[in-house]
Structure 1
Amino acid sequence: MFSSVIRKILKNSQNAAKYTAITPHLRNLRGQRTNQNEVDVFRPPDIPTKQNDKETEPVSQKTSTAEVALDFGKREAHVPSFNLAAYVNNSNTLQQFISLGVDLHSIEKRKGLGEFVLKLDFEKNVKPHITFLVDQGISPDDFGRMFTKNPLLFKEDLEDLQTRVEYLKSKRFSDEARQRIFTHNPYWLMFSTRRVDRRLGYFQKEFRLSGHDLRLLATREPNVITYNMEHLRKSVFTLKEEMGFNAKELSALVVRKPRLMMISPDDLVERFSYIHQDMGLSHAQIVQCPELLASREFRLRERHEFLKLLGRAQYDPQKDLYISPKTIVEGNNFYFVRNVAKSDLETFDLFLKTR
């Protein structure tokens, strides 16, 4: 059962105008160097095309380039542009995308995507994919973010998409897990089943994960499965060889915080060095609080030094005034000062200004 938003969009699309006809017209600019430039002319469908209007007459040599650029006459002329907003009024597909919450500005900033989206026909290319996603339980509220992030989803064959869904079902990914994977990483649906299988196999073998832990890792951070493999291997090397986590610790670390493998290895080393040496936390404590490695080093430094100034930088659970390392990176500064440091924001701001 479609939501009211999707029903409205699909219904309206049936009566929408077809592709806006784009008729190429050539205007030859003859200057001193006799250069030729092509200008695409956008012609609305309700303006009839005359038989002799296929090609404009050559411009006289006496006509300056500036005059030609400004002399549109009675016709509409649009120089090719990457700005999709210029085509919204004449494109039903773009209008439907806006209704779904798609950020056209974000799409047009990526090379080639603006042109690709402009050529889509809502009825033929978009509507079937929306139907497919709804059948998978994807909420219409997620469509805008999904299509903004990966509009190339509409070039994928529906049978291939269904095969990739069936593969995840065979690997015992729940309905909720699949929905989270597709909404948080719509690129996943563009990976063949063979390619996804190799990726999942890599993680399972490298970290000695059970099927349950592998599904947990993939669901918590779907982007890591389709991430650049060279980067992932460098991150794993850094965690094992440079930081010294053993196999068991590493497995627990990546399952609890798989996003760590997507962080720059240099940043990971910098954060680990501060946490392990300056804050005095062991490998076991870091595994229990992987959020520390996911936090920026300067933020860790500010908060740890403030706690140290107050005499509250005590991370040993066997001693009094224990502070969980995890709470150091939780919440904003107000939350940290009031609930962790037991101080006030004015004191913390003064500390930041004088450090």
Structure 2
Amino acid sequence: MIILRNLRFITKVTKTDANIPNYLPKNIRSLRNQTRQRVESLTTKEEHTDHVEKLAQPTRTEQRVNTGITEAVNKYLKNELRHIENKENIDVPTIQTNATHSSHLPANDEEIDDQLLDVGEAKKDYVPTFNLAAYVNKSPTLQKFLQLGVDLHSIERRKGLAKFTLGLDFEKDVQPYLYFLQDQGVPAESFGELITKNPLIFKIDIDDLQTRVNYLESKKFTAVQRQRIFTYNPFWLMFSTHRIDKRLGHFQKEFHLNGDDVRFLASKQPRLITYNMDHIRKASFCIREEMGFDKDEIKCLLLSKPRLWMINSDELIERFAYAHQTMGLSHDLLIQFPEVLTSREFRLRQRHEFLATLGRAQYDPEKDLYTSPKDLVSGNDYHFVRNVAKSDLETYELFLKTR
């Protein structure tokens, strides 16, 4: 660009003197201005005679002026080109030297990956993955787990558990916990399912586990109740005594339960005590405000079917709306047969509509052809068709195809 600009300048300097200062660089304009200075301004005429003559001569004719300017421009362009060449000669060896030097430096995998990222290339994602089946022949712990019925595939799908499981020594890290669970009445055939659901139990100190058992004993939980809690909810022992006490107190206060009710609820549905509390509060609001059950009815529902508080609230509302409005089941019947609310809505709809086509959709026990709501949602389709609808399976399947 510099060269083109200067060449453009050369083509324009042949114009009149009035236009020359507009195109010349500063150093060239200074040379042009020197031709117009008076010779008398020099301090010593004898010392600068030759210099003055050289500067004054080009101003005598237009041809000499152009010649002097052209020489000055050529000299300026030569200097510029020499400066550019020198700069390129300096930069190139520097880059080559740096490249040569860096090529001899040792680089690890991380540095290579960082270099790839710098140049915009995709970095290969080396995610540590574990397939426990590949280690079974080499790991006695995994072999023991398989004998207990542990699902290794379920463990390896959860982040970090495969590596943790491989690091366990069966005799030192696992066997003491199995003895502890056996002392609490957990049957040996449940060890596999318990470890599959909660292998992190081996990270809890046994003394802490014993403290949590002692807490339940102090709350008068029987040995059978404790056995059921630990068997059906492997995560119970992961909760500290403070958290368990706080949650049991919430259920006792919220639903007006006494001590026996709390122990019955905790042993009947152990997962409910350690379930998400926000979900439980939302389900309570749904049952109380949107379904219209009073506090005594809610208490009955909780003790008879605590799983209702673990169902999605929107699905629960749909089931209630269909059972109460379409099927005509009252609150009393729903409390007596809470199984209706645990059945999926489309299943209720299919069976109720099939009974309606047969004239048997009658759920009032004081009338003829009474059909129990519990029988409506119990059993498989064959049992329902033969024992409740008093029909055959082919007719029921043909009916479903027409829906």
When the two structures are superposed, what TM-score results if normalisation uses the length of structure 1?
0.78
Corresponding residue number in structure 2 for 1:15: none
Kept after mapping to 2: 8 A contact 1:29/1:35? no
CA-CA distance at 1:321 after TM superposition: 1.2
**Which residue identity lines up with residue 328 of structure 2 in the other structure?**
G
Kept after mapping to 2: 8 A contact 1:275/1:281? yes
Corresponding residue number in structure 2 for 1:185: 233
How many Å separate the matches in 2 of 1:114 and 1:32? 27
CA-CA distance at 1:31 after TM superposition: 6.8
Greater helix share, structure number? 2
Does 2:201 correspond to 1:153? yes
Residue from 287, 293, 298 that aligns with 2:335:
287
Corresponding residue number in structure 1 for 2:251: 203
Kindly report which structure 2 residues correspond to 1:49-88, keeping only aligned pairs within 5 A, or say none: 80-88=128-136
How many Å separate the matches in 2 of 1:32 and 1:281? 67
How many Å separate the matches in 2 of 1:27 and 1:183? 50
In structure 2, relative to structure 1, the CA distance for the partners of 1:304 and 1:88 (3 Å cut) is same
CA-CA distance at 1:325 after TM superposition: 0.6
Corresponding residue number in structure 2 for 1:14: none
Kept after mapping to 2: 8 A contact 1:330/1:336? yes
Unaligned ranges ≥5, structure 1: 1-25, 37-78
Corresponding residue number in structure 2 for 1:272: 320
**Which residue identity lines up with residue 344 of structure 1 in the other structure?**
D
Residue from 237, 241, 263 that aligns with 2:289:
241
Residue from 354, 358, 361 that aligns with 1:306:
354
CA-CA distance at 1:118 after TM superposition: 1.2
How many Å separate the matches in 1 of 2:128 and 2:325? 57
CA-CA distance at 1:217 after TM superposition: 1.4
User: Which of 147-156 and 170-179 deviates more?
Assistant: 170-179
Corresponding residue number in structure 2 for 1:340: 388
CA-CA distance at 1:29 after TM superposition: 8.9
CA-CA distance at 1:81 after TM superposition: 2.6
Other structure's SS at 2:137 match = helix
In structure 2, relative to structure 1, the CA distance for the partners of 1:245 and 1:118 (3 Å cut) is same
Deviations, residues 26-79 of structure 1 (Å, cap 9, x unaligned): 97499797569xxxxxxxxxxxxxxxxxxxxxxxxxxxxxxxxxxxxxxxxxx9
**Which residue identity lines up with residue 228 of structure 1 in the other structure?**
N
User: Which of 294-303 and 205-214 deviates more?
Assistant: 205-214
CA-CA distance at 1:172 after TM superposition: 2.0
Deviations, residues 177-200 of structure 1 (Å, cap 9, x unaligned): 111111111100111111111111
**Which residue identity lines up with residue 156 of structure 2 in the other structure?**
E
Does 2:211 correspond to 1:163? yes
Does 2:136 correspond to 1:91? no
In structure 2, relative to structure 1, the CA distance for the partners of 1:35 and 1:328 (3 Å cut) is same
Corresponding residue number in structure 1 for 2:371: 323
Rg comparison, structure with higher value: 2
Which of structures 1 and 2 has the larger relative contact order (alpha carbons within 8 angstroms, sep 6+)? Answer: 1
How many Å separate the matches in 2 of 1:192 and 1:80? 32
CA-CA distance at 1:214 after TM superposition: 1.6
How many Å separate the matches in 1 of 2:389 and 2:222? 41
CA-CA distance at 1:170 after TM superposition: 1.9
Corresponding residue number in structure 2 for 1:68: none
Identity percentage of aligned residues: 63
How many Å separate the matches in 1 of 2:389 and 2:250? 42
Unaligned ranges ≥5, structure 2: 1-106, 118-126
Residue from 216, 221, 224 that aligns with 2:272:
224
Deviations, residues 144-187 of structure 1 (Å, cap 9, x unaligned): 00000000011111111111111112222221211111111110
**Which residue identity lines up with residue 103 of structure 1 in the other structure?**
D
Residue from 176, 201, 205 that aligns with 2:224:
176
In structure 2, relative to structure 1, the CA distance for the partners of 1:29 and 1:197 (3 Å cut) is closer
Kept after mapping to 2: 8 A contact 1:313/1:323? yes
**Which residue identity lines up with residue 218 of structure 1 in the other structure?**
A
How many Å separate the matches in 1 of 2:315 and 2:298? 17
Other structure's SS at 2:136 match = helix
CA-CA distance at 1:311 after TM superposition: 0.5
Corresponding residue number in structure 1 for 2:167: 119
**Which residue identity lines up with residue 159 of structure 2 in the other structure?**
K
Corresponding residue number in structure 1 for 2:58: none
**Total equivalences in the alignment:** 291
In structure 2, relative to structure 1, the CA distance for the partners of 1:123 and 1:283 (3 Å cut) is same
Corresponding residue number in structure 1 for 2:78: none
CA-CA distance at 1:82 after TM superposition: 2.0
How many Å separate the matches in 2 of 1:270 and 1:170? 42
Deviations, residues 258-287 of structure 1 (Å, cap 9, x unaligned): 011010000110110000000000111101
Residue from 250, 259, 276 that aligns with 2:298:
250
How many Å separate the matches in 2 of 1:80 and 1:330? 47
How many Å separate the matches in 2 of 1:130 and 1:266? 41
Other structure's SS at 1:90 match = coil
How many Å separate the matches in 2 of 1:225 and 1:254? 12
Corresponding residue number in structure 1 for 2:77: none
